[in-house]
Every structure is written in structure tokens, then in C-alpha cells.
Structure 1
Amino acid sequence: MTVLGLYQPGDSLAHRTPAGVKLLVLFCAVTVVLVLGTLWVAVGGVVVSALLYPLCGVRARYVWRMLRPLLPFLALIVGFQVLTGDPWAAVRTCAVLGLAVLLSGLVTLTTQVSTMLALFERLAAPLRHLGVRPDRLALVLALTIRAIPMVTVAWQTSREAYLARGLRGRPHLMVVPVVVGLVRSAEAMGEAMTARGLD
């Protein structure tokens, strides 16, 4: 499963490492940086995380792709901290966030979605005693992941139709077609699951 289009095939150590170990390393690395709380440890962590990308066989451009969505939030943090008179705290906070995003991105880029779902199903196994079915929990997670590109495609299709009609300045007109498209996709998915005996 590569529905998000993020997994990058490879044979590096990161690709061969089990998903559970990678998540544990991610948790420990971010926790250590937060506990130490020093500026240079946080900045060093970001640099090391960025260098791990090419070392793990992932193109360096993905470093920018991972950090770009974070930039507006970082700008707000920097602005607030500068106004309160603590610019070093802004740098430290931004570095910690950058570290977490880069390491999370590396886990995503080197782990197949099916492998991650299998891990979550195993982790949810103890919930079986509470009446929760781990396989259904993994299915819900898989459907959630599948919905992300589905929403993106529906929005892009609606936007293209909006622009093709020469409409400008009324983006709210795209909302109804997007919702209708998503409802139809959900109905088709539900029918497919029913046909396969999933209730």
C-alpha cells in the first residue's frame, strides 16, 4: 500500500529496520531533545535528521518537502517569541518541531503503509479483551489514510472544473462538488466492503 505516495523503496538500514524499532527511536530522540532542552542539542538534532535522509537513500529534496508545510507555524512561533523578548526560545522551539517532523517524515518515507498498519494491529491486540477487534481498528486506520489522497483528488477536480468555467473570487462554490464527490466515493467504498463481507 502506497496510497499516500510517500514510501520510497530502498535497501538502506532504515528500510530494513522494523517499524516498531523506528517508532521507538523516533519517540526516544524527540523525548531526549525535549528533556535536555538546550538550543544546541535541538539545532544539532535538526542537522543530523536532515543528513539522515541521503544516508538512508532518500533524496535530499524531501527535507524541504517535509519542512515546507511547517513554515507558517514556525513563523507564528518566531513572531510570538520575539514579541515576548526571547528569540533564543523561538529558535529552540522551531528546532524541536523541525526535528520531530524530519524524523517522522523519514519513518514514513522508509516504511510501507501495510507494514505500519500491521504494527498497529499487533499493538492493538490487548484491546481484544475489551471487545475491540484489532483487525477492524487497522481497517479504520487504513480507510483514514486512504481518505487523505481521496480528499486531495476531489478538491483538485473541483478546482479544475471551477477554473474551466471561468469562475473567480468565489471559492465557496467548490465546496458542494467536493462534498458530493466524497459522499459518492464513500458509498462506492461501502458497497465494495459489503460485497466482500465486511459489515
Structure 2
Amino acid sequence: MIADVYRPGSTLAHRLPAGAKLAGLALAGTLLFLIPSVWLSLGALVLSVAATAMTLGRRSAGRTLRASLPIVVLVAGFQLWFAGPMAALLFGSRLAALLLMAALAAATTRPSDIADAVERLVAPCLRPFGIDPARVGLAVSLAIRFVPVLASLASEIREAQAARGLDRSAIALAVPLVVRLFKMADEIAEAIDARS
């Protein structure tokens, strides 16, 4: 099951409302993907590393970055193969920045606060269609918490493969990662069904 990634604290990031963090994450993601600038993506990456280091400590920022590395390398590798080195740098830095931002948001926000913020935001739009805003809030909360868990799983699989002397190909990472993700998704679905 998903480990709890929230870390209590009293930093500015901890004191920001969950809605502001989600809005910032959505805005950053939108801008990074709408503006195809390597410099913007690299700047966002530097800022997200600095913010994570200042908020959670250098060690935690380093761990988060290392855990994200296999996914970033996988995406950048595909871009390098199909679109060239600049596209690989652009997509790799975008993804790394967003993974760090999501990890920072997840580490400084209680999951219940995330779910509540999403519920308040989407309730007026979804209730007329008979969609339960509480379920949407829970789904978004799980998705945000899933990012650092996904990066950690990829890192764990890479380390296990290296210990066994296996090759470091993308397929060797992707297959066990997808299997573990499906297993986790089933466990989460069972927990949600049991809760409702």
C-alpha cells in the first residue's frame, strides 16, 4: 500500500493552504508544457530542487531526486531516441521539476487537506451531473501521493536489478514497474471499495 509521504513541519510550504499548492502545481505543469523552453524547464528544476532542499532538507531533496531519476531517464531516453538531445533535455527537465514539485506538495500537505480542497473546487461543477466530489477528491489525493511512491518504486527496482547484475535497459525497468503498479492499484481499489 502507499506509504504516508506527509512530513509534519512549520515551514512556509506547510502553512500554505492545500488549494494554493494544487493551483500552483497545476499552473506550473501547464506553463511548463505550453512553453517549450529548455531554459524555463531547467529554471523550474533548479527552483524545485532549491525549494525541496530548503523545506525538507538537502538529504530529502537528494533522495527525492535520485528516486525520480529512473523515470526521468526513461522518458528522456525515449525523447533522445525519437526526437533528439534538445527534446530529451526539455522533457527530462520538465518531468524532473514536476515530480519534485509534486513530491514537495505531497510531503507538506495532509492527504485529507488535498481531498478537501479538490472537493470544494469541483463540487459545484460535478454535483449537477450526479458525480460524488468526495470520490474525485480522493482520486486526486491518491494521484498526487502516488508520484513519489512511483519514483521510489522505480529506484527500488533499479537497485534490486543492479544487485542481481541485470541490465539497465528501459524494458527491464518498465515490466516489473508496471506489474507493481497494477498490484498497488488493485490494493488501493479494494481499500476504496471497502471504505464506501
Given the superposition, is the C-alpha separation of residues 99 and 144 from structure 1 closer, same or farther in structure 2, using an over 3 Å criterion? closer
**Alignment correspondent of 1:155:** none
Given the superposition, is the C-alpha separation of residues 125 and 83 from structure 1 closer, same or farther in structure 2, using an over 3 Å criterion? closer
**Alignment correspondent of 1:10:** 9
Question: Structure 1 CA distance, aligned partners of 2:77 and 2:103?
Answer: 26
Give the percent of matched residue pairs that are identical in Structure 1 and Structure 2.
Answer: 32
**Alignment correspondent of 2:157:** none
TM-score of the superposed pair, with normalisation by structure 1: 0.62
Q: 5 Å matches for 1:1-199?
A: 4-56=3-55, 58-84=56-82, 86-126=84-124, 127-135=126-134, 138=137, 141=139, 190=194
Contact 2:45 2:93 (8 Å CA) reproduced: yes
TM-score of the superposed pair, with normalisation by structure 2: 0.63
Contact 1:30 1:99 (8 Å CA) reproduced: no
Matching residue's letter, 1:94: G
Structure 1 unaligned residues grouped into runs of 5+: 149-174
Q: Which has the larger radius of gyration?
A: 1
Matching residue's letter, 1:93: F
Query: 4+ residue stretches of structure 1 with deviation over 6 A?
Result: 142-145
User: Post-superposition shift, 1:15?
Assistant: 1.0
Given the superposition, is the C-alpha separation of residues 110 and 36 from structure 1 closer, same or farther in structure 2, using an over 3 Å criterion? same
Given the superposition, is the C-alpha separation of residues 74 and 48 from structure 1 closer, same or farther in structure 2, using an over 3 Å criterion? same
Question: Structure 2 CA distance, aligned partners of 1:104 and 1:10?
Answer: 17
Matching residue's letter, 2:35: L
Higher helix share: 2
Structure 2 unaligned residues grouped into runs of 5+: 147-178
